[in-house]
Structure 1
Amino acid sequence: MQTSVIDRPVAGPAPVSRSRPARLPWLLAGGWLAHLLLRLWLYRYHAGPVANPDEVGYLLAARWLAGGPGGDYSGSTFYQGGYPLLLAPVYWLSTDPVTVYRLVSGFGAVASASAFPLAYLVLRRLALGRRAALALAFVAGLAPSLLLFSGLALVDAVLPTLVLGWLVAFHDLVNRRGVVPGVVAGALSGLAMAMHMRGAILFGVFVVGVLGVLVFRRVSLRAGLWALGAAALAGGAGMLVNARLKAALYPSGIKDLSGLALERVTGLEGQARSLAGAAGQIWYLVTATWGVAGIGIVAALVVLVRRGGSPYRVMAGILLALTLGIAYASSAALPDEHRVGNYAYGRYLACVAVAWTLVGLVALLRSRRRTALALASASAGLLALSGGLAAWYAGDRLTRYTYIAFDFPEAAFLSGVRDRFDLVGASVAALVLLAAITAASLVRTKTPIGRKVAGALVLAFALAVPNVAFAADIAPKSAPARGNDGLPRLTHGRVGLDTRVKWNIWVHLIHRVHWTEVERVRPSDGPLPEGLCTVVAAPEAGAPPAGWTVSGRGQGWVTWTAC
């Protein structure tokens, strides 16, 4: 493979009028607005959490951080406070659950749409011209990884944008050697660590990366220390917030994912499970980006292993380390829930999907014909190898275990199969799209706007076709029917919740009961606490105690009222 994959010197962009830089902010603002409106339209009917217990876990934390009532989320995964801290101001505007959720959805849309201008900056750091960078960044902003979670109360709505901003700041720290980008990169690292385990991997990669460039004198000691100091300060603040949150909302402890990860990585079977799960995540990353992320990964590997200096070597290593670290660590910590998604999952690496897509697009645009074909072939090989390893380890569990459609939106779109996991069908469709996008990148038409810009526009169009088709696929076809959802209707007073009520009921109640903390009770163990107004009991609780009357019934619950 030729050595000029992503950093081959190229001719500068065609001469432009002096008015173009003045138009740039308006173009970026207009593109950002278009992305925001698309996301608001896609999630216009969402009025409450659908991805639970995750969404309610974040919303509960945000409500408590805003000074509202908490709740008992003991025994669940710990939903860290970095992301809820960003949501907390929403609860100062309203406490109504529907209004809160719509505002949170809007916040996620704003954060996700902001990936477009940051993607533009990433492409500019890769020495792409303004017009080419605008076109490719706009289309990359339509990526499934950015659309899927933008309207949900999930940390995934903001992580991809944070990662892009972090990459730009880290690049500027290394290549421009400024204190300010180092502080920004460090602060974003600390914020990410306070948000999710994926952020802890990002934080670790940042610290090791800064120490590495300090050793090799790629940055000044002053800039490096400022960067590490900002990371330590932000990370320390996040740890304090998380400690208080854990004590308040998880009084009986959390699900010990760190312990599970440690147990896995110290045993052969656990290592096999972790590595196979990581391979499944890599497969999903390549497949869900129509093979383009695979091209980016291969190009970064070439930059790392070839001889000679490259201005992109540090960033290639940083992004690879982040990706592989997330894939491995998340697979090691993921409990075996007897679901297909335990073996091939796309959500955890969605935060780096756009970054790899951008690298892949630049590699295609910069490469000669033979190199582009070699990159596409290597991406296809990576898809086949990672998917094959995941399928080999999982075996019949891919068909025997529970299939949850929420885990496989891109795979279902590619294969057309909605009720089961079709790894082969999704892979074949992704390879077809990879071939089409690669073929588009080989178009070198001479036009008044220049060959490079014309090539970028053709490539952008080729990527836009599947991205827009996916957006149309997930778009709501009509307004959902509004009716009784089968949950208790509570409006006032203190509320008690029988510990035997199933989780899919009490999770929703914790979100909907916004005026007081839902108290855990066990009616069969003795008298109910004084002052309770309503108790949501399990059907097996029997008749209510004296002074209480049955006020409602549903599937898996019965309400008693005393006021």
Structure 2
Amino acid sequence: MTMSMVRVPAPVPLRRRGGRSRTWWLLAAGWAAQVALRLWLFRQHAGPVANPDETGYLIAARWLAGGPGADLSGSTFYQGGYPLVLVPVLWFVRDPVVAYRLVVVVGAMAAAGAFPLAYLLLRRLGTGGRTATVAAFAGGLAPSLLVFSGLALADAILPTVVLAWLVALHDLAARGSARAGALAGGLGAYAMAVHLRGTVVLAVTVLALAGLYVARRRAGAVAGLAVAGVVAAAGVLLNRVLSGALYPGGARDLSGLLAERVGGLAGQAWALAGAAGQLWYLIAATWGLAGVGLAGAAALVARRSAPGPHRLLAAVLLATTLGIAYASSAALPDEHRVGNHAYGRYLACVALAWTLAGLLVLARTGRRAVVWHTLAAAGLLTATGGVVAWYAGDRLRGSAYIAFDFPEVIFLTRVRDSFDLVAASAVALALLAALTGAALLTARRAWPAVVAVLAVINVAFAADLAPKSAPAATGADWPPALTAPGRVAVDRRVRWNVWVPLSYRVSWTEVEHYDRTPPAGVCTAVVPPDAGPPPEGWAATGAGGVRQGWTTWVNDRCPGDGTSARGR
């Protein structure tokens, strides 16, 4: 993860006894501080705001915990690896608001775990203890670790999984440890069970383990391959069971779309341009540091004299990043939104690793090398941005702009209702210049200067992310709030952005679907506002309306104290 001119010292061992004890107490305190920051940032979140993704994961967790499921047929399949982490919450809590707040706690704890893992990774790469602690803490404030940690998304845990995986691979390469091999194989396979992009992580894991077997790390490689096989099989079984229960009519076929795209020139153009857009976003969202790290890793892989474990990490991280960018872009449906062309979420899982790589390059190279690496990063940002502008053209202005897709870009441009590729690139380059200037001006004391600049930027982002008021959904995005026990059914004419969130908020039963006439035994029916008068035995509540996209009917034959429905 460093450049050819980087001085690569041997890994620095942790101090024994008292020193080691103080280090772990410091890491624990830092982790707790990172958790507290996230809980404060997302203190007002009481329910899903990113639908259908959050709801899909929450319903999967609820079903795995023995609660009601839902029919999500035709939607993207939300895999079971992440919901499995949430099952303990749903075992004990069924109230959807309380459960969601506890899910935020779980996400905050998992994302904050990237801090001690970043410390371990920096130590493996020869960074001193005090420097590694401060750099890891500043890196742990990165946008990729803040934005998603307060949401019920797989992205809350994937960056931490990837960092742990990198540490395990380094230990396997450095010491041939069977335990490290088993951990690397298990984490790579678990990533596959969490999200489709984890398939790339598993593929890279298998290739890395095979290479280490050839390099005489055989015991560790065999252990890794064996554990990867077992965990991958368990993940496939879990996802198959989950798919059959929650997607009886089948999920959206992203794998089929990927195969179709790869097989044609137009599809290849879409995939490659989208991959370039993801790389552009990765570099811009790490204030240019990922570009520095990418250049450094490529040079390190090419340098045969580099330490083997470091060279392995560089190759693994490059392959994973490029593979995810290409495969996720090829499998992404054209939803006529700007995020189809420039998107940061899929590579957020490697963003901190590349931030650390960029820090290593800036802090451990000579001044000439720092300049060249910065120029390479600037060139890569400009080139990938140029590909996006050329391929997408007017679609960057005419397609739907969803602010949720662009938290870092909004921070860079201060514009919340449109996408400005040039302005975002220019500000990202200015921040990279500040980081580079800190490295050049401080020479031998580059670490504290560069980390200080990074910390200031990340703290500014966190302050900008801090909620000014509770997140509010509007229009059809805010479903009816039902207070009724008993069966609930939704007319198939009701839009998905009403019934999908409703499927989580109705925690006592599975929401049913019907065509025009509510099934017998249903207590509350959610219908489109133009559905007309309710049938005999039903009463309209008057909730909702045309703007909301729904209204409700109540069955008179249900108990009067448990069939009310109200709108917000």
- For the aligned pair, the TM-score class normalised by the smaller chain equals over 0.9
C-alpha separation in 2, matches of 1:234 and 1:496: 38
C-alpha separation in 2, matches of 1:180 and 1:481: 47
Q: Residues 252 and 269 of structure 1: is their aligned pair in 2 closer, same or farther, counting only changes over 3 Å? A: same
Q: CA deviation at 1:11?
A: 11
Q: Residues 494 and 16 of structure 1: is their aligned pair in 2 closer, same or farther, counting only changes over 3 Å? A: closer
Q: Residues 477 and 94 of structure 1: is their aligned pair in 2 closer, same or farther, counting only changes over 3 Å? A: same
C-alpha separation in 1, matches of 2:494 and 2:398: 28
C-alpha separation in 2, matches of 1:93 and 1:443: 55
1:83 aligns with 2:57: no
C-alpha separation in 2, matches of 1:532 and 1:404: 36
C-alpha separation in 2, matches of 1:467 and 1:241: 37
Q: Residues 440 and 188 of structure 1: is their aligned pair in 2 closer, same or farther, counting only changes over 3 Å? A: same
Q: Which residue of 1 aligns with 2:257?
A: 260
Q: Which residue of 1 aligns with 2:563?
A: none
Work out which of the residue numbers 499, 502, 523 in structure 2 matches 1:506.
499
C-alpha separation in 2, matches of 1:545 and 1:389: 57
Residues 280, 344 of structure 1: 8 Å contact kept = yes
Q: Which residue of 1 aligns with 2:268?
A: 271
C-alpha separation in 1, matches of 2:372 and 2:306: 22
Q: CA deviation at 1:5?
A: 3.6
Q: Which residue of 2 aligns with 1:39?
A: 38
Secondary structure of 1:403's counterpart equals coil
CA RMSD between the two structures = 2.0
1:298 aligns with 2:295: yes
C-alpha separation in 1, matches of 2:7 and 2:189: 30
C-alpha separation in 2, matches of 1:235 and 1:268: 33
CA deviations 1:275-297 (Å, max 9, x no partner) are 00000000000000000011111
Which amino acid counterpart does residue 282 of structure 1 have in structure 2? Answer: L
Which amino acid counterpart does residue 37 of structure 2 have in structure 1? Answer: L
- Unaligned 5+ segments in structure 1 are 446-450
Q: Which residue of 2 aligns with 1:54?
A: 53
Secondary structure of 2:71's counterpart equals coil
1:139 aligns with 2:138: yes
Q: CA deviation at 1:18?
A: 7.7
Q: Report the TM-score, using the length of structure 1 for normalisation.
A: 0.94
* Aligned positions of 1:352-501 closer than 5 A: 352-444=350-442, 454-479=445-470, 487-501=480-494
Which amino acid counterpart does residue 185 of structure 2 have in structure 1? Answer: G
Q: Which residue of 2 aligns with 1:448?
A: none
C-alpha separation in 2, matches of 1:11 and 1:120: 12
Q: Residues 338 and 226 of structure 1: is their aligned pair in 2 closer, same or farther, counting only changes over 3 Å? A: same
Secondary structure of 1:496's counterpart equals strand
Residues 5, 299 of structure 1: 8 Å contact kept = no
C-alpha separation in 2, matches of 1:539 and 1:18: 69
Q: Which residue of 1 aligns with 2:562?
A: none
C-alpha separation in 2, matches of 1:335 and 1:400: 17
C-alpha separation in 1, matches of 2:400 and 2:143: 23
1:182 aligns with 2:181: yes
Q: CA deviation at 1:545?
A: 1.9
Q: CA deviation at 1:224?
A: 1.3
Which amino acid counterpart does residue 529 of structure 1 have in structure 2? Answer: P
CA deviations 1:422-450 (Å, max 9, x no partner) are 111010001111011011123447xxxxx
Q: Residues 257 and 360 of structure 1: is their aligned pair in 2 closer, same or farther, counting only changes over 3 Å? A: same
Q: Which residue of 1 aligns with 2:227?
A: 230
C-alpha separation in 1, matches of 2:143 and 2:525: 42
Residues 8, 126 of structure 2: 8 Å contact kept = no
1:534 aligns with 2:532: no
Q: CA deviation at 1:7?
A: 4.8
Which amino acid counterpart does residue 450 of structure 2 have in structure 1? Answer: L
CA deviations 1:214-247 (Å, max 9, x no partner) are 1233x12x22111011011111111111111100
Which amino acid counterpart does residue 519 of structure 2 have in structure 1? Answer: P
C-alpha separation in 1, matches of 2:41 and 2:550: 33
Secondary structure of 1:533's counterpart equals strand
C-alpha separation in 2, matches of 1:5 and 1:114: 31
Q: Identity over aligned residues, as a percent?
A: 58
1:559 aligns with 2:538: no
1:26 aligns with 2:17: no
C-alpha separation in 2, matches of 1:179 and 1:560: 62
Residues 488, 559 of structure 1: 8 Å contact kept = no
Q: Residues 516 and 486 of structure 1: is their aligned pair in 2 closer, same or farther, counting only changes over 3 Å? A: closer
C-alpha separation in 2, matches of 1:12 and 1:103: 38
Q: CA deviation at 1:196?
A: 0.4
Secondary structure of 2:524's counterpart equals strand
Residues 9, 125 of structure 2: 8 Å contact kept = no
C-alpha separation in 2, matches of 1:47 and 1:347: 22
Q: CA deviation at 1:43?
A: 0.1
Secondary structure of 2:525's counterpart equals strand
Q: CA deviation at 1:173?
A: 1.0
Deviates more, 1:540-549 or 1:508-517: 540-549
C-alpha separation in 1, matches of 2:92 and 2:226: 34
Residues 489, 524 of structure 2: 8 Å contact kept = yes
Q: Residues 535 and 347 of structure 1: is their aligned pair in 2 closer, same or farther, counting only changes over 3 Å? A: same
C-alpha separation in 2, matches of 1:306 and 1:185: 25
Which amino acid counterpart does residue 539 of structure 1 have in structure 2? Answer: P
C-alpha separation in 2, matches of 1:203 and 1:465: 35
Which amino acid counterpart does residue 559 of structure 1 have in structure 2? Answer: T
1:315 aligns with 2:313: yes
Q: Residues 523 and 168 of structure 1: is their aligned pair in 2 closer, same or farther, counting only changes over 3 Å? A: same
Q: Residues 261 and 7 of structure 1: is their aligned pair in 2 closer, same or farther, counting only changes over 3 Å? A: farther
1:548 aligns with 2:538: yes
Q: Residues 248 and 7 of structure 1: is their aligned pair in 2 closer, same or farther, counting only changes over 3 Å? A: farther
Residues 526, 552 of structure 2: 8 Å contact kept = yes
C-alpha separation in 1, matches of 2:196 and 2:346: 10
C-alpha separation in 2, matches of 1:469 and 1:155: 25
- Unaligned 5+ segments in structure 2 are 559-568
Q: CA deviation at 1:546?
A: 1.8
Q: Residues 18 and 5 of structure 1: is their aligned pair in 2 closer, same or farther, counting only changes over 3 Å? A: farther
Q: Which residue of 2 aligns with 1:326?
A: 324
Q: CA deviation at 1:51?
A: 0.5
C-alpha separation in 2, matches of 1:210 and 1:245: 30
Secondary structure of 1:247's counterpart equals helix
Residues 185, 227 of structure 1: 8 Å contact kept = yes
Q: Which residue of 1 aligns with 2:206?
A: 207
Q: Residues 107 and 3 of structure 1: is their aligned pair in 2 closer, same or farther, counting only changes over 3 Å? A: closer
C-alpha separation in 2, matches of 1:341 and 1:480: 21
Report how many aligned residue pairs link the two structures.
Answer: 549
Q: CA deviation at 1:488?
A: 4.2
C-alpha separation in 2, matches of 1:120 and 1:307: 26
Q: Which residue of 2 aligns with 1:240?
A: 237
Residues 257, 331 of structure 2: 8 Å contact kept = yes
Q: CA deviation at 1:541?
A: 2.9
Secondary structure of 2:76's counterpart equals coil
Which amino acid counterpart does residue 330 of structure 1 have in structure 2? Answer: S
Secondary structure of 1:412's counterpart equals helix
C-alpha separation in 2, matches of 1:98 and 1:255: 28
Q: Residues 61 and 477 of structure 1: is their aligned pair in 2 closer, same or farther, counting only changes over 3 Å? A: same
